[in-house]
Amino acid sequence: MLFADVSVLDEHFAVKPHQWVAVQGGVITYVGDSDPRGAMAAGCGAATAPAEGDSPVTPPLGAAPATADFGEVVDGAGRLLMPALYNTHAHSPMTLLRGYAENLPLDRWLNEKCFPFEAKMTGDDCYWGTLLACAEMARFGVVSFSDMYYHADRSAQAVLESGMKANLSGALVAFEDKPFSDYPEYAFMEQLGNEWNGAADGRIRVDYNLHSEYLTNETVARDIVALAKEKGLRMHIHLSETAKEVEECRGRHGGMSPVAYFEAIGLFEVPTTAAHCVWVDEADMDILAQRGVFVANNPASNLKLGIGFAPIPRMFEKGVNVCLGSDGMASNNNHNLFHDMYLQAMVYKGATLDPTAVTPQQALRAATRTGALSQGRDDCGLVREGMRADLCLLDVTGPSWCPATDMACNLVYAGHGSDVVMTLCDGQVLYAQGNFPTIDLERAKAECAARTKRILGEL
């Protein structure tokens, strides 16, 4: 595919007009300000610029653009091409809970609503909930998500079929003081890893997870950290989401915060994505920065559940890897990550009384490149030669996009997820102009509606 004469969000998160971007074999093979077909005609070939910043990437195999067939040519007039978005904290089957547990205090939301509903969910329910989540994410330019939920093997099947990417982990509540290997989740995770880690050309990965400090005892937490280390897998946890969680952790662990506690048991020696980190102090943030922990910021979920405001501007100052997540659909209620990006770029200005807090470039990087890195996908998240072709194309002809004085600011402050007209994952089209080539959306919607109705009838 060749995007012809298109505006591009470049690797510095600035918008460059009149660019040509070629995608071949799932990889971006050319980015430049001239038509590579012209280079072919001139016989001079298309030079590959050396990569700047970030990690080096392996040059794509196969023919150079100058001698290659580009296939479909997409007219870039009135279009903006940007890296696809990476949703770094989700519970995708929870799409079935959308609109069900509303306007309740956190304890009642969880104990009276979410837990009883989830106890009725089958593997098939989780498959369909994930498939609908995939469709919704693809619609809004998201190609990959980090998930933590029951029946993760069924989510993996949905991800495989949808053409998306995901880092999947199971669900675990561990109060009994016995080794992790005595829990049924141990065998489940072994099987999930064996069957799915690296599946679909690496689109699907398996992470280990600890739900949180308050739902996992120390014996099990230490065992899981050791397993992740031994297998070279990543970790996904909820961390310091509420003030109550932090206070109770200090009571249980000799005054240590959840961050200090997990540092003490060695968690952050494993690459970790930590969701929320709302109630963290300076010492906590220093640990997160030093250990390279990826903080999945969930501004919509934190607002909706009345959790508070994560110190995101301070984390950026300290060099913490901040990325972006939707969280589950009982606390958001959508997978339109453009909403979350807008909130990340806006709410912390209000929370800190500082209008310079969180720049559009920081928010764009969090939603794209840092998200990809949090999933161990070093060759994703930038529009640059040699990177995987995870892209979304926006229609920028609507009224919100004029004038084009600063298109990166328009993108964050005025654009909408619904401006996305095409989403590609590894070069495969997942969404284009209302169509979902890999997902039967009507079937997925009907299945999810019927399944939610069944479960509500059982409650």
Residues 419-448, interacting with Ni ion (CB under 5 A): none
Nearer to Ni ion, 125 or 327 (CB): 327
Q: Whole-number minimum distance, CB 237 to Ni ion, in Å?
A: 10
Residues β-bridged to residue 294: 273, 321
Residues 333-392, interacting with Ni ion (CB under 5 A): none
Closest by Cα among 447, 397, 414, 419 to 336: 419
Nearer to Ni ion, 263 or 327 (CB): 327
Taking CB under 5 A as the binding criterion, the range among 229-237, 320-328, 339-347, 356-364 that sits at the site for Ni ion is 320-328
Q: Does 241 bind Ni ion (CB under 5 A)?
A: no
Distance CA 229, CA 121 (A): 31
Nearer to Ni ion, 146 or 370 (CB): 146
- 417: which 2 tokens? 């997820």
Distance CA 221, CA 420 (A): 41
Taking CB under 5 A as the binding criterion, the range among 39-47, 53-61, 214-222, 324-332 that sits at the site for Ni ion is 324-332
CB 214 within 8 A of CB 175: no
Taking CB under 5 A as the binding criterion, the range among 280-288, 323-331, 407-415, 422-430 that sits at the site for Ni ion is 323-331
Distance CA 406, CA 416 (A): 16
Q: Element (H or E) spanning 115, and its range? A: helix 115-119
Residue nearest to Ni ion (CB): 327
- 167: which 2 tokens? 């880092």
Q: Whole-number minimum distance, CB 359 to Ni ion, in Å?
A: 26
Distance CA 216, CA 148 (A): 14
Q: Whole-number minimum distance, CB 211 to Ni ion, in Å?
A: 9
Q: Whole-number minimum distance, CB 91 to Ni ion, in Å?
A: 6
Peptide bond before residue 311 is cis, with ω within 30 degrees of 0:
no
Taking CB under 5 A as the binding criterion, the range among 180-188, 306-314, 327-335, 422-430 that sits at the site for Ni ion is 327-335
Site residue total, Ni ion (CB under 5 A) = 1
Distance CA 297, CA 278 (A): 8
Taking CB under 5 A as the binding criterion, the range among 326-334, 398-406, 414-422, 445-453 that sits at the site for Ni ion is 326-334
Nearer to Ni ion, 298 or 362 (CB): 298
CB 234 within 8 A of CB 228: yes
List all residues 6 or more positions away from 216 whose beta carbon is below 8 Å from its beta carbon. Answer: 172, 173, 174, 210, 224
Q: Whole-number minimum distance, CB 309 to Ni ion, in Å?
A: 17
Among residues 118, 147, 327, 426, the one that binds Ni ion under rule CB under 5 A: 327
Q: Whole-number minimum distance, CB 195 to Ni ion, in Å?
A: 24
What values do phi and psi take at 49, rounded to 5? -70, 145
Distance CA 102, CA 271 (A): 34
Q: Whole-number minimum distance, CB 238 to Ni ion, in Å?
A: 5
Unique residue bearing structure tokens 């206070």: 247
Q: Whole-number minimum distance, CB 104 to Ni ion, in Å?
A: 16
Site of interaction with Ni ion (CB under 5 A) = 327
